[in-house]
Structure 1
Amino acid sequence: MDETISLLPFIESGGEGFLLDIPVLDSDRNLFQGYSYPFQIVDKGQHLSIIVKAGLKINDADRFKSLFLLVQRDDYPILPDDLTPFTNVSIDRIWLETIQSYSKDKNVFIVPKQLSREGKATAFRSLFYCKKQQKFFHPPCPECGTELDLCQDDTLLISKSLPPFSTSLKRYLFCSRCHAAKTNYEFYQFSRSADDLIFTKDRFDLIKDFSKLRSAVSSSFPCP
């Protein structure tokens, strides 16, 4: 499993230092419950990314600097092309090149530890946002409470009749701990399509499965 980092310490912290301020569409939670994406999108016309309004602040103080976040899409509106196939590997390579390029620009803010000294980009862990509690969290496994991982194991995916990570645009979250213990074989993707197998689950299924949680989870998890 490739190393990942969490964005939570840069969003929520009880210590000193700057934090990312990512405002929602409206401070009144009742007004944006119907929106699928609660943040302020500046541009969503790109195939691989969206641009979100944000800023920097210190704890609960007012924002002292405005900025825009370049955020990877949850899914990609890209049509299949057998001649020049576009895959998850292609996307990861493009993101690495983008981060490397922006890191040379003094006007661009790169999250600490996102780019190693060797020039390798480190991916962020999957991050969910609870509209009701207005809180970010890493999605836990509904069975054991361990944070879910992005599955990049082609052999494992193929054994479950799922598209490989390296040759498709499909991305699945799974629990590596439960798979190793052979206690839970669920795979979750952002959204289902007509050609998906009937047993595959999406983000809405994952949220429903959170109701099965009986194990201890991270303090960032918003549900009681």
Structure 2
Amino acid sequence: MQGSLDLFAPPAAEPIAIGPDAWLLKGFASTQTDTLLATIGQLTQQAAFRHQVTPGGHAMASAQASCGTHGWVTDKRGYRYTTEDPLTAQPWPAMPSSFRELAVRAAAHVGFEGFDPQSCLINRYQTGAGMGLHQDKDEQDLAAPIVSVTLGAPITFLFGGMQRSDKPSRWLLEHGDVVVWGGVSRLFFHGVAPLGKKAVHPVTGAVRYNLTFRRVES
């Protein structure tokens, strides 16, 4: 049954190369989706979703929360990681073992052995919400890969190059898909197109969740 651990589930599809040292793993998390969604609900009771504001004063389209030893935040002071949730002044919720094990397993599956994520940023996209092309460069450790998990409604992932002007390739991400990139592609620009009006999933409705795992400090 989808969402529960199943020792007899078929193996995930072969990795699809979307760039140098960058891979799309179709359905890689498909046997864990129910657990992951339930855990998101538990985590966001401790660290609520919020629409953070960029240094330029613009509210982000996606609502965000974090778990792990470090959480990613943005405000008028800039983009950065903190060890405490600014809304509660409490440490971010610990990263659940189900999250960590999935990220480590996905990274190892495409050759990034020894990945030890310190932060998981949880994005919630609703109809019309997207994220423009950007680089993940707020981390001290750029040698570690990034692992991104899609849950819920399908969305189009944009994967570009080292320049913002590089034309990105487009990849449909569906419930349970995982993207891993690092090495040559670690600082490639990437984003997601706005969630379409007809994009829905039987469990989450017109909502897509994204788990992004990163190593923050060396």
Q: TM-score of the superposition, structure 2-length normalised?
A: 0.30
In our comparison, the structure showing a higher alpha carbon Rg is: 1
Q: Higher strand proportion, which one?
A: 2
Q: Which has the higher contact order (CA 8 A, sep 6+)?
A: 2
Q: Higher helix proportion, which one?
A: 1
Q: TM-score of the superposition, structure 1-length normalised?
A: 0.29
